[in-house]
Chains A and B, each alone.
Chain A
Amino acid sequence: MGLLVKDKEIVTPGEDLALGMDYLPSYGTFREGERISAAKLGLVSIDGRVIRIIPLSGKYMPKTGDTIIGKVVDVTINGWRIDINSAYSAMLSMKDATSEFIPRGSDLTRYFNFGDYIVTSIINVTSQNLVDLTMKGPGLRKLGEGRIIHVNTHKVPRIIGKQGSMVTMVKDATGCRITVGQNGVVWIQGDQPESELKAVEAILKIENESHISGLTERIKEFLEKQG
């Protein structure tokens, strides 16, 4: 009875985490009778009675309220279909796309065209994983010139840092404009190619070394060394 694993232990899918009803299954775990088992590869996090898993890998799962970066892949009669770097694609409907009045029969590519990248927010995810997006909110916009890189979606919190401290540090040191989507898509634009390359390198370094402690110090050192 009770816990079978320690806090911060790495578990694989199917591994038993706890027996009995004393613990509650949360994200990345499931209950089967008396047992709580892991559904994902990751670190166990035990918070009081709640057991959850912080995944180490895997695709992005859409969640209501997330701000993400998507790519327009289709223009339909009532909106746009957006690739959100997930197993599921998302819909941006006309009414959520702009506060402008769109006349009947107008060309929707005037607003967002094939291949455009947009910063957008998820308003709803249904049980069937149909995703609805909105462009109404602070910072939500179409992205212009710049570069898109992809990172592991589970490392996004480390790239942003506490209250955005990490990404702000990279921005200040390189002078680049950076937008990080929860889905692991990062947009970077720098005035100088050299500084943009440095920002890209810093972000990939954060992604690769996020599990080793003293990350902030190392990134700071890295940014100062080259600058």
Chain B
Amino acid sequence: MLVNQMKNERRSHLLKFLEKGLRYDKRKLDEFREITVELGVSKNAEGSARVKLGDTEIIAGIKMSVEKPYPDTPDDGNLMVGAELSPMSSPDFESGPPGTQAVELARVVDRGIRESKAMDTKTLCIEKGERVWTTCIDLVTINADGNLIDAASLAALAALRDTKLPEYDEKEKKLDYKSRTNKKLPLKKTPIAITVYKIGPHYLIDPTAEEEELIDARLTVTTSDGKLCAMQKGENSPLTIEDVDKMVSLAIHKAKELAKRL
């Protein structure tokens, strides 16, 4: 218990602010920081985007390749998501193989795109059972100041929209990365992940790293056009049914707001 004493003091201090509807940076409880989305930041990637949420900054890059499909989905394009929490982006991140936080980040982003059926994977099939397009999304944190999941999924979506397929030679079965076609990815939906953070009786959106450290629980809700696609619960405290209800409706509301900005 002693270990948590300082944390408890800081938590109760933050709660005093939240009770008055205030946050450390004068935002409202359900207010995002300034969002900027920049497309085409990488020359070598087929699609890329840089997303800034206040001081949080993430770059997403898309590489396209042609590979053999998985046996259970012979005529669907493949999707892979990887995330790297660069040690330069936060003192808490270490170099080495991806840890639980990085794996979770990649999986939640992956799940949002996959389960919303945002991509028409059938059109990414070239030859059934033999060759399909593989979309590989890589996420790198440039600066981590809280709310990485929302920033990462927004970056992934923006990068997918930016993607132009490279030239594929059917006869030679070879990809030419140097010449890019005007063909875009078959994106049909806009899955947007909103993470609602719970601290005491309050629900927060887009916390800074300072606030995120003191959080009780979080729920990532991915929606597209107001429809639920995926969820992820994190941190230690349990959530009641009422909590989940409130968090989901807040997330749907915020997702509509965010979709307009994209």
Interface residues of A (CB under 8 A from B): 109-110, 113-117, 144-147, 189, 193-194, 197, 200
Query: In the complex, how many angstroms separate the beta carbon of B223 from the nearest chain A beta carbon?
Result: 32
Given that A194-B20, A194-B22, A197-B22 are contacting pairs, would A113 and B6 also be in contact in the complex, using a CB cutoff of 8 Å?
Answer: yes
Asked whether, in the complex, the Cβ of B2 is within 8 Å of the Cβ of A110, the reply is: yes
Residue pair A193, B7 in contact (C-beta under 8 Å): no
Do A115 and B6 touch across chains, with their CB atoms under 8 A apart? yes
Shortest Cβ distance from residue B197 to the other chain A in the assembled complex, whole angstroms: 19
**Contact at B2–A193, with CB atoms within 8 Å?**
no
Once bound together, how far apart are the Cα atoms of A144 and B8, in whole Å?
10
Residues of A within 8 A of B6 (CB): 113-117
The answer to whether A193 and B10 touch across the interface, beta carbons within 8 angstroms, is: no
Question: Contacts A145-B9, A145-B12, A197-B26 hold; do A109 and B20 have CB atoms under 8 A apart?
Answer: no
Q: What's the Cα separation between A110 and B1 when bound, in Å?
A: 11
Bound Cα distance A200, B13 (Å): 15
Residues of A within 8 A of B2 (CB): 109-110, 113
Q: How many A-B residue pairs have CB under 8 A?
A: 34
B179 at the binding interface (Cβ < 8 Å):
no
B70 to chain A: which residues have CB within 8 Å? Answer: none
Which of A110, A115, A144, A147 is close to B7, meaning CB atoms less than 8 Å apart?
A: A115
Q: A110-B2, A113-B2, A193-B16 are in contact. Are A147 and B24 (CB under 8 A)?
A: yes
Mark B36-79 against chain A: 1 for CB-CB distance below 8 A, else 0.
Answer: 00000000000000000000000000000000000000000000
Nearest residue, chain A, Cβ from B8: A145
Residues of B within 8 A of A (CB): 2-3, 5-7, 9-10, 12-13, 16-17, 20, 22, 24, 26
A197 to B21, CA, bound (A): 13
Which of B13, B20, B22 has the most CB atoms of chain A within a 10 A radius of its CB?
B13
Question: How far, in whole Å, are A24 and B54 apart by their CA atoms in the complex?
Answer: 45
Name the B residues within 8 Å of A109 (CB-CB). Answer: 2-3
- Nearest neighbor of B10 in chain A, beta-carbon distance: A145
Contacts of B24 in A (CB 8 A): 147, 197, 200
A146 B13 Cβ-Cβ under 8 A:
yes
Bound CA–CA A91/B260 (angstroms): 52
Complex CA distance for A115 and B7, rounded to whole angstroms: 8
For this complex, 12 residue pairs linking A to B, each with C-beta atoms less than 8 Å apart, are A109-B3, A110-B2, A115-B6, A115-B7, A117-B6, A144-B9, A147-B10, A147-B13, A193-B16, A194-B22, A197-B26, A200-B24
In the assembled complex, which residues on chain B have CB atoms less than 8 Å from the CB atom of A114?
A: 3, 6
CA distance A147 to B12 in the complex (A): 11
Give chain A residues whose Cβ lies under 8 Å from the Cβ of B26: 197
Measured between beta carbons, the chain B residues less than 8 angstroms from A116 are: 6
Shortest beta-carbon distance from A60 to chain B in Å: 16
A146 to B24, CA, bound (A): 12
Distance (Å) between the CB of B21 and the closest chain A CB? 9
Minimum Cβ distance to chain B for residue A99 (Å): 22
Nearest-neighbour CB distance to chain B for A221, whole angstroms, equals 20
Bound Cα distance from A109 to B13, whole angstroms: 22
Q: Which residues of the partner chain B approach A200 to less than 8 Å between Cβ atoms?
A: 24
Q: Which 4 A-B pairs have the closest CB atoms?
A: A145-B9, A193-B17, A115-B6, A145-B13
Chain B's nearest CB lies how many Å from the CB of A117? Answer: 8
* Chain A residue at minimal CB-CB distance from B91: A83
| Nearest-Cβ distance from residue A58 to partner chain B, whole angstroms | 18
Collect the chain B residues with CB atoms within 8 Å of residue A194's CB: 20, 22
Given the complex, which residues of B lie within 8 Å of A197, measured CB to CB? 22, 24, 26
Question: Known interface pairs A193-B17, A193-B20, A194-B22. Does A113 touch B5 (Cβ–Cβ under 8 Å)?
Answer: yes
**Alpha-carbon gap, A115 to B3, bound state (A):** 8
Residues of A within 8 A of B10 (CB): 145, 147
User: For residue B5, which residues in chain A have a CB less than 8 angstroms away from its CB?
Assistant: 113
A113 touching B17 in the complex, CB below 8 Å, given contacts A144-B9, A145-B9, A197-B22: no
Which residues of chain B have C-beta atoms less than 8 A from A147's C-beta? 10, 13, 24
